[in-house]
Amino acid sequence: MFPQIRMRRLRYGKLKNMVRENAVNVGDLIYPFFVDETAAEKSEVASMPGVMRWPLSLAVEAAREAYDLGIPAVLIFGIPKTKDEKGTSAYGDDDVAQAAIRRIKAEFGDDLIVITDLCLCEYTDHGHCGIVDFETRDVVNDQTLPVLGKIAVSHAKAGADIVAPSGMMDGMIEAIRLALDENGFEKTPIMSYSSKYASVFYGPFRDAADSGFCFGDRSEYQMDPANGDEAIRETELDVLEGADILMVKPGMPYLDIVYRIKQEFKMPLAVYQVSGEYAMIKAAAEKGWLDEEKCFLEACVSMKRAGADMIITYYAKELAKILAAKDQKKVLANVPKSKR
Protein backbone atom coordinates (compact mmCIF):
# COMPACT_ATOMS: atom_id res chain seq x y z
CA MET A 1 0.00 0.00 0.00
CA PHE A 2 0.89 3.66 -0.23
CA PRO A 3 3.59 4.88 -0.04
CA GLN A 4 5.18 1.59 -1.25
CA ILE A 5 2.82 1.32 -4.20
CA ARG A 6 2.59 4.36 -6.42
CA MET A 7 0.65 3.85 -9.64
CA ARG A 8 2.09 7.04 -11.06
CA ARG A 9 5.58 5.48 -11.33
CA LEU A 10 4.73 3.94 -14.68
CA ARG A 11 2.99 6.96 -16.15
CA TYR A 12 6.06 8.86 -17.29
CA GLY A 13 8.00 9.22 -20.51
CA LYS A 14 8.79 6.24 -22.72
CA LEU A 15 7.86 3.75 -20.04
CA LYS A 16 4.25 4.80 -20.26
CA ASN A 17 4.19 3.60 -23.88
CA MET A 18 5.86 0.33 -22.96
CA VAL A 19 3.23 -0.61 -20.39
CA ARG A 20 0.29 0.35 -22.64
CA GLU A 21 -2.11 -2.59 -22.90
CA ASN A 22 -4.17 -1.77 -25.98
CA ALA A 23 -3.84 0.08 -29.24
CA VAL A 24 -5.85 0.75 -32.35
CA ASN A 25 -3.96 -0.42 -35.42
CA VAL A 26 -4.68 0.44 -39.01
CA GLY A 27 -5.02 -3.31 -39.60
CA ASP A 28 -8.08 -3.39 -37.33
CA LEU A 29 -10.08 -0.95 -39.40
CA ILE A 30 -12.99 -1.48 -41.75
CA TYR A 31 -14.08 1.48 -43.85
CA PRO A 32 -17.82 1.59 -44.59
CA PHE A 33 -19.11 3.51 -47.58
CA PHE A 34 -22.24 4.07 -49.64
CA VAL A 35 -22.51 3.51 -53.39
CA ASP A 36 -25.44 5.32 -54.99
CA GLU A 37 -26.66 3.94 -58.32
CA THR A 38 -28.41 7.14 -59.41
CA ALA A 39 -25.78 9.68 -58.36
CA ALA A 40 -23.56 11.23 -61.00
CA GLU A 41 -21.19 12.84 -58.51
CA LYS A 42 -20.26 12.27 -54.92
CA SER A 43 -22.33 14.13 -52.36
CA GLU A 44 -22.02 14.63 -48.64
CA VAL A 45 -24.56 13.10 -46.25
CA ALA A 46 -26.21 16.04 -44.45
CA SER A 47 -26.21 14.46 -41.00
CA MET A 48 -22.71 12.97 -41.40
CA PRO A 49 -20.32 15.76 -42.45
CA GLY A 50 -17.32 14.29 -44.27
CA VAL A 51 -19.16 11.08 -45.25
CA MET A 52 -19.98 10.74 -48.94
CA ARG A 53 -22.37 8.87 -51.10
CA TRP A 54 -20.28 7.71 -54.02
CA PRO A 55 -21.55 7.19 -57.57
CA LEU A 56 -20.86 3.78 -59.05
CA SER A 57 -18.32 5.37 -61.39
CA LEU A 58 -16.25 6.39 -58.33
CA ALA A 59 -16.67 3.22 -56.25
CA VAL A 60 -13.08 2.21 -57.03
CA GLU A 61 -11.87 5.67 -55.96
CA ALA A 62 -13.73 5.37 -52.67
CA ALA A 63 -12.05 2.05 -51.99
CA ARG A 64 -8.68 3.38 -53.13
CA GLU A 65 -8.71 6.14 -50.54
CA ALA A 66 -8.94 3.48 -47.83
CA TYR A 67 -6.52 1.10 -49.54
CA ASP A 68 -3.85 3.80 -49.98
CA LEU A 69 -3.93 4.44 -46.24
CA GLY A 70 -3.32 0.77 -45.47
CA ILE A 71 -6.89 -0.04 -44.38
CA PRO A 72 -7.35 -3.76 -45.05
CA ALA A 73 -11.13 -3.94 -45.55
CA VAL A 74 -14.14 -2.01 -46.79
CA LEU A 75 -17.83 -2.53 -46.06
CA ILE A 76 -20.11 -1.67 -48.97
CA PHE A 77 -23.69 -0.43 -48.80
CA GLY A 78 -25.64 -0.17 -52.05
CA ILE A 79 -28.29 2.46 -52.68
CA PRO A 80 -30.31 1.19 -55.66
CA LYS A 81 -32.08 3.24 -58.31
CA THR A 82 -35.31 1.31 -57.81
CA LYS A 83 -36.90 -0.05 -54.68
CA ASP A 84 -39.95 -2.29 -54.43
CA GLU A 85 -41.95 -4.26 -51.93
CA LYS A 86 -39.74 -7.33 -52.19
CA GLY A 87 -36.36 -5.69 -52.59
CA THR A 88 -35.69 -7.28 -55.98
CA SER A 89 -32.87 -4.83 -56.76
CA ALA A 90 -30.82 -6.45 -53.97
CA TYR A 91 -29.75 -9.58 -55.83
CA GLY A 92 -29.47 -8.95 -59.58
CA ASP A 93 -26.09 -9.61 -61.19
CA ASP A 94 -25.81 -5.99 -62.30
CA ASP A 95 -27.45 -4.28 -59.38
CA VAL A 96 -25.59 -1.58 -57.52
CA ALA A 97 -23.85 -3.61 -54.81
CA GLN A 98 -22.81 -6.35 -57.24
CA ALA A 99 -21.52 -3.82 -59.78
CA ALA A 100 -19.52 -2.01 -57.08
CA ILE A 101 -18.03 -5.26 -55.76
CA ARG A 102 -17.04 -6.35 -59.25
CA ARG A 103 -15.29 -3.07 -60.04
CA ILE A 104 -13.45 -2.95 -56.74
CA LYS A 105 -12.32 -6.58 -56.92
CA ALA A 106 -11.17 -6.07 -60.53
CA GLU A 107 -8.96 -3.22 -59.33
CA PHE A 108 -7.57 -4.56 -56.06
CA GLY A 109 -7.94 -8.34 -56.21
CA ASP A 110 -6.88 -9.99 -52.97
CA ASP A 111 -5.18 -6.84 -51.70
CA LEU A 112 -8.42 -5.42 -50.32
CA ILE A 113 -11.06 -7.34 -48.39
CA VAL A 114 -14.55 -6.53 -49.63
CA ILE A 115 -17.31 -7.04 -47.07
CA THR A 116 -20.92 -6.45 -48.05
CA ASP A 117 -23.83 -5.39 -45.90
CA LEU A 118 -26.47 -8.02 -46.55
CA CYS A 119 -29.92 -6.67 -45.82
CA LEU A 120 -33.16 -5.72 -47.53
CA CYS A 121 -33.84 -2.33 -45.95
CA GLU A 122 -31.90 -0.35 -48.55
CA TYR A 123 -33.79 -2.14 -51.33
CA THR A 124 -37.41 -2.26 -50.14
CA ASP A 125 -39.77 0.68 -50.68
CA HIS A 126 -41.20 0.20 -47.18
CA GLY A 127 -37.66 0.28 -45.72
CA HIS A 128 -37.95 -2.82 -43.54
CA CYS A 129 -35.26 -5.48 -43.38
CA GLY A 130 -37.49 -8.28 -44.66
CA ILE A 131 -40.57 -9.27 -46.62
CA VAL A 132 -43.64 -7.49 -45.23
CA ASP A 133 -47.17 -8.83 -44.89
CA PHE A 134 -49.15 -5.60 -45.22
CA GLU A 135 -52.31 -7.06 -43.73
CA THR A 136 -50.66 -7.95 -40.45
CA ARG A 137 -47.88 -5.34 -40.81
CA ASP A 138 -45.44 -8.06 -39.93
CA VAL A 139 -41.93 -8.54 -41.26
CA VAL A 140 -42.27 -12.20 -42.15
CA ASN A 141 -39.18 -13.97 -40.90
CA ASP A 142 -39.23 -17.26 -42.79
CA GLN A 143 -40.22 -15.75 -46.14
CA THR A 144 -37.24 -13.41 -45.84
CA LEU A 145 -34.64 -16.17 -45.37
CA PRO A 146 -34.48 -17.47 -48.97
CA VAL A 147 -34.17 -13.89 -50.23
CA LEU A 148 -31.20 -13.30 -47.92
CA GLY A 149 -29.66 -16.50 -49.28
CA LYS A 150 -30.10 -15.19 -52.80
CA ILE A 151 -28.49 -11.84 -51.98
CA ALA A 152 -25.54 -13.61 -50.33
CA VAL A 153 -24.93 -15.76 -53.39
CA SER A 154 -25.16 -12.73 -55.71
CA HIS A 155 -22.58 -10.87 -53.60
CA ALA A 156 -20.24 -13.86 -53.50
CA LYS A 157 -20.60 -14.35 -57.26
CA ALA A 158 -19.65 -10.72 -57.80
CA GLY A 159 -16.51 -11.35 -55.74
CA ALA A 160 -17.37 -10.35 -52.17
CA ASP A 161 -14.86 -11.77 -49.70
CA ILE A 162 -17.19 -11.68 -46.68
CA VAL A 163 -20.95 -11.20 -46.40
CA ALA A 164 -22.32 -9.36 -43.38
CA PRO A 165 -26.01 -10.03 -42.73
CA SER A 166 -27.55 -7.20 -40.70
CA GLY A 167 -31.27 -7.91 -40.82
CA MET A 168 -31.66 -9.74 -37.48
CA MET A 169 -33.98 -12.39 -38.89
CA ASP A 170 -34.03 -15.63 -36.90
CA GLY A 171 -32.22 -18.42 -38.72
CA MET A 172 -30.58 -16.10 -41.22
CA ILE A 173 -27.03 -17.32 -40.67
CA GLU A 174 -27.99 -20.93 -41.38
CA ALA A 175 -30.03 -19.96 -44.44
CA ILE A 176 -27.14 -17.91 -45.83
CA ARG A 177 -24.53 -20.57 -45.01
CA LEU A 178 -26.57 -23.23 -46.81
CA ALA A 179 -27.20 -21.01 -49.83
CA LEU A 180 -23.51 -20.11 -50.11
CA ASP A 181 -22.42 -23.74 -49.76
CA GLU A 182 -24.93 -25.00 -52.32
CA ASN A 183 -23.49 -22.55 -54.81
CA GLY A 184 -19.85 -23.39 -54.28
CA PHE A 185 -19.02 -20.58 -51.88
CA GLU A 186 -18.22 -22.71 -48.86
CA LYS A 187 -15.07 -20.66 -48.32
CA THR A 188 -16.89 -17.33 -48.03
CA PRO A 189 -17.02 -16.27 -44.36
CA ILE A 190 -20.07 -14.74 -42.71
CA MET A 191 -19.62 -11.73 -40.45
CA SER A 192 -22.86 -11.69 -38.53
CA TYR A 193 -24.30 -8.53 -37.05
CA SER A 194 -24.92 -10.90 -34.16
CA SER A 195 -25.96 -8.48 -31.43
CA LYS A 196 -27.59 -5.63 -33.23
CA TYR A 197 -29.72 -3.36 -31.10
CA ALA A 198 -32.80 -1.36 -32.13
CA SER A 199 -30.84 1.84 -31.67
CA VAL A 200 -31.63 5.50 -32.17
CA PHE A 201 -27.93 5.90 -33.01
CA TYR A 202 -28.65 4.63 -36.57
CA GLY A 203 -30.57 7.83 -37.34
CA PRO A 204 -28.03 9.52 -39.63
CA PHE A 205 -27.41 6.23 -41.51
CA ARG A 206 -30.99 6.27 -42.69
CA ASP A 207 -30.33 9.64 -44.36
CA ALA A 208 -27.19 8.21 -45.90
CA ALA A 209 -28.80 5.04 -47.22
CA ASP A 210 -32.36 6.28 -47.80
CA SER A 211 -33.50 3.38 -45.68
CA GLY A 212 -36.04 4.92 -43.32
CA PHE A 213 -39.13 2.78 -42.83
CA CYS A 214 -42.67 3.85 -43.75
CA PHE A 215 -44.41 2.30 -40.74
CA GLY A 216 -43.45 0.97 -37.32
CA ASP A 217 -39.79 0.62 -36.44
CA ARG A 218 -37.24 -2.16 -36.22
CA SER A 219 -37.85 -3.08 -32.59
CA GLU A 220 -39.62 -6.31 -33.51
CA TYR A 221 -36.46 -7.78 -34.97
CA GLN A 222 -33.54 -5.79 -33.56
CA MET A 223 -32.65 -6.17 -29.90
CA ASP A 224 -33.99 -4.21 -26.95
CA PRO A 225 -31.28 -1.84 -25.66
CA ALA A 226 -32.26 -2.80 -22.11
CA ASN A 227 -31.09 -6.41 -22.57
CA GLY A 228 -27.66 -7.91 -22.03
CA ASP A 229 -28.15 -11.62 -21.37
CA GLU A 230 -30.23 -11.81 -24.53
CA ALA A 231 -27.15 -10.84 -26.55
CA ILE A 232 -25.50 -14.04 -25.38
CA ARG A 233 -28.43 -16.16 -26.64
CA GLU A 234 -28.66 -14.25 -29.93
CA THR A 235 -24.95 -14.69 -30.51
CA GLU A 236 -24.85 -18.33 -29.49
CA LEU A 237 -27.45 -19.14 -32.13
CA ASP A 238 -25.44 -17.36 -34.80
CA VAL A 239 -22.34 -19.25 -33.74
CA LEU A 240 -24.18 -22.57 -33.95
CA GLU A 241 -25.59 -21.63 -37.35
CA GLY A 242 -22.09 -21.00 -38.68
CA ALA A 243 -21.12 -17.36 -38.15
CA ASP A 244 -17.36 -16.89 -38.59
CA ILE A 245 -17.04 -13.36 -37.23
CA LEU A 246 -19.31 -11.76 -34.65
CA MET A 247 -20.34 -8.13 -34.28
CA VAL A 248 -21.71 -5.78 -31.68
CA LYS A 249 -23.57 -2.71 -32.91
CA PRO A 250 -23.65 0.16 -31.90
CA GLY A 251 -20.23 0.51 -30.28
CA MET A 252 -19.63 2.96 -27.48
CA PRO A 253 -22.95 2.63 -25.60
CA TYR A 254 -22.62 -1.17 -25.76
CA LEU A 255 -19.07 -1.85 -24.57
CA ASP A 256 -20.40 -4.10 -21.82
CA ILE A 257 -21.82 -6.31 -24.57
CA VAL A 258 -18.52 -6.24 -26.46
CA TYR A 259 -16.76 -7.40 -23.32
CA ARG A 260 -19.26 -10.15 -22.56
CA ILE A 261 -19.36 -11.50 -26.11
CA LYS A 262 -15.57 -11.64 -26.33
CA GLN A 263 -15.29 -13.38 -22.96
CA GLU A 264 -18.08 -15.83 -23.71
CA PHE A 265 -17.24 -16.89 -27.26
CA LYS A 266 -13.54 -16.07 -27.80
CA MET A 267 -14.28 -15.54 -31.47
CA PRO A 268 -13.21 -12.81 -33.90
CA LEU A 269 -15.29 -9.80 -32.97
CA ALA A 270 -16.09 -6.61 -34.84
CA VAL A 271 -17.59 -3.49 -33.30
CA TYR A 272 -19.55 -0.98 -35.36
CA GLN A 273 -19.10 2.65 -34.39
CA VAL A 274 -22.37 3.69 -36.03
CA SER A 275 -23.56 6.82 -37.79
CA GLY A 276 -24.98 8.46 -34.66
CA GLU A 277 -21.73 7.98 -32.75
CA TYR A 278 -19.89 9.62 -35.64
CA ALA A 279 -22.43 12.45 -35.87
CA MET A 280 -22.23 13.19 -32.14
CA ILE A 281 -18.46 13.55 -32.18
CA LYS A 282 -18.61 15.66 -35.37
CA ALA A 283 -21.26 17.96 -34.02
CA ALA A 284 -19.50 18.54 -30.71
CA ALA A 285 -16.21 19.10 -32.53
CA GLU A 286 -17.79 21.59 -34.92
CA LYS A 287 -18.99 23.57 -31.94
CA GLY A 288 -15.51 23.48 -30.48
CA TRP A 289 -16.68 21.47 -27.48
CA LEU A 290 -14.55 18.38 -28.04
CA ASP A 291 -11.19 17.62 -29.63
CA GLU A 292 -12.36 15.48 -32.55
CA GLU A 293 -9.18 13.44 -33.10
CA LYS A 294 -8.64 12.64 -29.47
CA CYS A 295 -12.27 11.79 -29.10
CA PHE A 296 -12.50 9.16 -31.85
CA LEU A 297 -9.13 7.72 -30.90
CA GLU A 298 -10.27 7.28 -27.31
CA ALA A 299 -13.61 5.83 -28.40
CA CYS A 300 -11.84 3.29 -30.63
CA VAL A 301 -9.13 2.27 -28.17
CA SER A 302 -11.93 1.71 -25.65
CA MET A 303 -13.53 -0.70 -28.09
CA LYS A 304 -10.24 -2.58 -28.33
CA ARG A 305 -9.93 -2.63 -24.53
CA ALA A 306 -13.45 -4.06 -24.28
CA GLY A 307 -12.48 -6.92 -26.61
CA ALA A 308 -12.96 -5.84 -30.21
CA ASP A 309 -10.62 -7.22 -32.86
CA MET A 310 -11.97 -5.08 -35.68
CA ILE A 311 -13.63 -1.68 -35.77
CA ILE A 312 -16.04 -0.53 -38.44
CA THR A 313 -15.90 3.25 -38.40
CA TYR A 314 -16.67 6.22 -40.64
CA TYR A 315 -13.50 7.67 -39.12
CA ALA A 316 -11.37 4.86 -40.59
CA LYS A 317 -9.46 7.09 -43.01
CA GLU A 318 -8.83 9.85 -40.44
CA LEU A 319 -7.72 7.22 -37.94
CA ALA A 320 -5.35 5.64 -40.42
CA LYS A 321 -3.76 9.02 -41.10
CA ILE A 322 -3.31 9.80 -37.42
CA LEU A 323 -1.90 6.35 -36.67
CA ALA A 324 0.61 6.69 -39.50
CA ALA A 325 1.72 10.08 -38.17
CA LYS A 326 2.05 8.65 -34.66
CA ASP A 327 4.12 5.74 -35.95
CA GLN A 328 6.38 8.21 -37.67
CA LYS A 329 6.81 10.13 -34.43
CA LYS A 330 7.50 6.95 -32.50
CA VAL A 331 10.22 5.94 -34.92
CA LEU A 332 11.85 9.34 -34.48
CA ALA A 333 11.48 9.24 -30.71
CA ASN A 334 13.40 5.98 -30.62
CA VAL A 335 16.33 7.35 -32.53
CA PRO A 336 18.81 8.58 -29.90
CA LYS A 337 19.05 12.37 -29.81
CA SER A 338 22.71 12.28 -30.83
CA LYS A 339 21.85 10.46 -34.07
CA ARG A 340 18.80 12.46 -35.13
- Rounded CA separation 198/179 (Å): 27
* Closest CB 314 distance from ligand PBG, rounded Å: 7
Comparing CA positions, the residue from 234, 100, 265 lying closest to residue 170 is 234
Which listed residue (274, 279, 306, 308) binds ligand PBG by CB under 6 A? 274
Catalytic residue, chosen from 83, 105, 150, 196, is 196
Which listed residue (129, 163, 299, 300) binds ligand PBG by CB under 6 A? 129
Non-local CB neighbours of 75 within 8 Å, separated by 6+ positions? 30, 31, 32, 33, 115, 116, 117, 164, 312
* Closest CB 273 distance from ligand PBG, rounded Å: 8
Long-range contacts of residues 67-71, Cβ cutoff 8 Å, at least 24 apart: 67/108, 67/111, 67/112, 69/26, 69/317, 69/320, 69/321, 69/324, 70/26, 70/27, 70/320, 70/324, 71/26, 71/29, 71/30, 71/31, 71/316, 71/317, 71/320
Rank residues 100 and 332 by Cβ distance to ligand PBG and give the closer one. 100
Contact between 197 and ligand PBG (CB under 6 A)?
no
Contact between 121 and ligand PBG (CB under 6 A)?
yes
Q: In what helix (H) or strand (E) does residue 261 lie, and over which residues does it extend?
A: helix 255-265
* Closest CB 249 distance from ligand PBG, rounded Å: 7
Site string for ligand PBG, 150-169 (x = CB under 6 A): ----------------xx--
Q: What is the dihedral of CA 219, 220, 225, 229, to 10 degrees?
A: -170
Site string for ligand PBG, 13-52 (x = CB under 6 A): ----------------------------------------
Residue of closest CB approach to ligand PBG: 205
Catalytic site residue 249? Answer: yes
List residues binding ligand PBG (CB under 6 A). Answer: 117, 119, 121, 129, 166-167, 202, 205, 211, 218, 274-275
The catalytic residue positions are 196, 249
